[in-house]
Amino acid sequence: MLTNRSKQVVKREMTLMERMYLPAIFGGVIITIRHLFRKAATIKYPETKREIAQIWRGQHVLKRDDKGAERCTACGLCAVACPAEAITMVAAERNRGEENLYREEKYASTYEINMLRCIFCGLCEEACPKEAIFLTDRIIETDYAREGFVFGKDKLVEPADARIDVTPRQTPAVLEFKKHKQLSHNK
């Protein structure tokens, strides 16, 4: 009754036309034959790929800064924000001479995302104060075993010589939001 969509069930005898089945079958047959000439909705996946949105949320990337140092400082805010609890990390202290590898004194020695747990909501990206983690338009490849879906730093950190463009993810609204430095996590 709440939706106003409930219907009173009527149990009545079928009329002669209904009991003959044939008119109804004829109607059904006409409907199905029309579909014979309709264009198939199938996309032959490996050969042709479905167009995906620019802001598609796929495999994550851990960004490096302009000098090639990892941005992540292992603060753990992404892990806290993650509703699926897919992110784990171990923090480590930067040694002397590693300044070109890690941007700040603390970094993540291991950083793992379980792609089977991840729901690709993008909350980690939102939580990150260092703009280190982004979701990209790459699709996670399938595998036969579960182990392959726990992505470590080897798969997540972008290669220094092959940067991954995340500008499409930063829509005008996001950029506008990031201008407001008074908002806590943009400090």
Partner 1 sequence: MSFLLYQTILCGGIFTITLAIAAYSTYAERKVAAFLQDRIGPDRAGPFGILQPLADGLKFFMKEEIIPNVSNKLLFIAGPCIAMLTALMAGVVIPWGSTLEIGGNVYSLQIADLNVGILYVFGVVSIGVYGIMIGGWSSNNKFSLLGAIRASAQMISYEIAMGLAIIAMIIMTGTLSLGEISAQQAGGAGSDWSMWNVVYQPVGFLIFLICAFAECNRTPFDLPECETELIGGYHTEYSSMKLGFYLFAEYINMFISSAVISTLYFGGYNFPFMNNLGLDHNTITILGTVFLFGKIFFFIFFFMWIRWTVPRFRYDQLMDLGWKVLIPLSVANIVVTAFIILLSNR
Q: Where do contacts with partner 1 occur on this chain (CB under 8 A)?
A: 25, 28-29, 31-33, 35-36, 38-42, 44
Helix (H) or strand (E) holding 111: strand 106-114
Q: With respect to partner 1, which residue has the nearer C-beta, 7 or 34?
A: 34
CA–CA dist 128, 82 (Å, integer): 11
Nearest distance from residue 142's CB to partner 1, in Å?
A: 17
Q: With respect to partner 1, which residue has the nearer C-beta, 35 or 180?
A: 35
Q: What are phi and psi of 65, to 5 degrees?
A: -85, -170
Nearest distance from residue 29's CB to partner 1, in Å?
A: 5
Nearest distance from residue 8's CB to partner 1, in Å?
A: 24
144-160 burial, b if ≥16 CB within 10 A, otherwise e? eeeeebebeeebbbbee
Q: With respect to partner 1, which residue has the nearer C-beta, 35 or 96?
A: 35
Q: With respect to partner 1, which residue has the nearer C-beta, 41 or 173?
A: 41
CA–CA dist 60, 164 (Å, integer): 10
Nearest distance from residue 32's CB to partner 1, in Å?
A: 5
Amino acid at 163: R
CA–CA dist 126, 87 (Å, integer): 14
Nearest distance from residue 28's CB to partner 1, in Å?
A: 4
Q: With respect to partner 1, which residue has the nearer C-beta, 44 or 50?
A: 44
